[in-house]
Structure 1
Amino acid sequence: MSFPQPPTLNAPPPCRPRPGSAFSLLEVVVAIGIFALGIVAVIALFAPAAKSVSANSDTEAAARLATLISGELQRRVAPGAPSPFASVAALLKKSTAGGHQLTADDAKPDYDIATDPQLLFASRDGTKIGTYADTAVWGAPNSNREKFFEIALIRNESLSPLTDPAATNPADPDATALLLAYTVRIRWPAFVALSGAGAQQVGANPAGAVRFDHSSKLSLFVTGVVSR
C-alpha cells in the first residue's frame, strides 16, 4: 500500500502577476512625446520635398510654355505686310544698343510689371497668353489671378540688329529680314491669388524703399526665332 508523498519544500511558487508590470503614466507621456517629435520631423522633411516637387512642376510648365510662346509670336507675323515682324518687334527689349533694357528695368526699385506694355503673361497651364491689359485673354474686369508666368522678350541683336550696318542711311532691317531672333525670359510667379477674388504681385511692397522686389522669382531663358 502506498501513501501520497508530501509536497517538497523547494517546489516553485505559483505564477502570479508582477506588481507594476503595466506602463506607468511617465512612460506613456515619454512615448507620446517621442512619437510627436517623430511626426514633427517627418513633416519637416516632407515640406521641402513637396516644395521641390512643386518647383520642378512649374519649371516643366515653363519649358512647355516656351514652345507655346514661339507659336504665339509666329502667329503675330504678317508675311504680306511691308514690315512683317512689326508686331513682334514691338515686344522685344533692346539687349546691346544703348544698354540691356531688361537688366535696367529690373534694377529699378519701382519696376512694376503691370505697367510694362512689352511684357506678356501666361496662365499656369499655358492656355492663356497675352499682355497685361488684354481683356480678350484675361476677361473683363481684368483679373491677375491667372497671370502666373511673366514673359519678357529680348532682341538678339547679333542675329537681328536694330539697324543695318551695311546701309548708307539707318534702315529697318526687319523689313527685309527672313527671320527675327530673340531670347525669352519666363519668370514666375508673377502674381499670387489672395482670398476672395483678388491677387497680389509677388514682391510688392508699396510702402517700402523697394516697391517691387523680383529677386525671389524663378527664371528660365530660351532662345527662339520667328520667320516670314
Structure 2
Amino acid sequence: MTTAIEIKDVHREVKILKYLSGHANLVKFYEAYEDDLNVYIIMELCGGGELLDRILSKGGKYKEKDAKVIVIQILSVIAFCHLQGVVHRDLKPENFLFTTKDENAPMKIIDFGLSDFIRPGALLGRNKRSSFSSPWTYFSKWVEAEALARITEEAIIKFLWKSIICRYGIPHRLVSDNGRQFQGKKIQVWCQGFNIQQAFTSVAYPQANGQAEVTNQEILRGLKTKLDHE
C-alpha cells in the first residue's frame, strides 16, 4: 500500500469482513495482520475453483435445475449483505468460489475490496446516489485487451466469457483473423451454443488490422496531453 486511498480501501475491506458473518455462502474471515508495507488477510480456504471455471467446464451452459442451485446461493448471500447494510459492488463469476471440487459443493462470495457500507437513500460520495451505469454506451469506444502466454482455444473462450459476455452480453458476431485457435472445433461448438456467428478476416483484406495501432495512438495522445498539462 502506497497511497492514502489504498490504505483506506484495505482498512474498509477488513472492517467489512469482520462485520459480516453468519451466512453459509459468505467466505469466513479469521484475522488480519499489518506491517509497514502490507496487510495480510487470513481467510477460509476454498479449493473448488471459481464459478467462472465451473461454467466453462460445462461448455458455458447449465441445466436449469443446476443453475437454480447456483442462483439461489448468490441471491441469498447478496440479500444477507444488503440487510447488513453492505453492498458488494463487484459481483462476477470470478468472485464466487466453490469450497471443494465436489459437484455439489457450496459457493462462497469473496473479494470485498470494492464493497462499502450504505443506508437506503444515502449518498455514495459527493452528490452521488448509489447507482450503476451500463457499459453498452461505451462498447464501441473501448478495446478489451489481455496478455496471454499462449493463445489457445481455451484461453480465447475464457476471455470471451469473462471480458465480453459477462460484461456486455452475448454478441451477434465474432470477427477474428483466420488463425487455427479461432477455427478449432471447441470454439466453433461454443459459439454455436450461443448463436454467435463467426466471421474471419482474410490476409488479402484484413478489415481488423490496424485497430491495435489506432488504439495505441489514442492512448499515447492522451498521455502526452496529460503530461503537457502537468
Same fold, judged at TM 0.5 (above): no
User: Structure with the greater relative contact order (CA < 8 A, sep ≥ 6): 1 or 2?
Assistant: 1
Give the structure with higher Rg (CA).
1
Higher helix share: 2
TM-score if structure 1 supplies the norm length?
0.28
TM-score by length of 2: 0.28
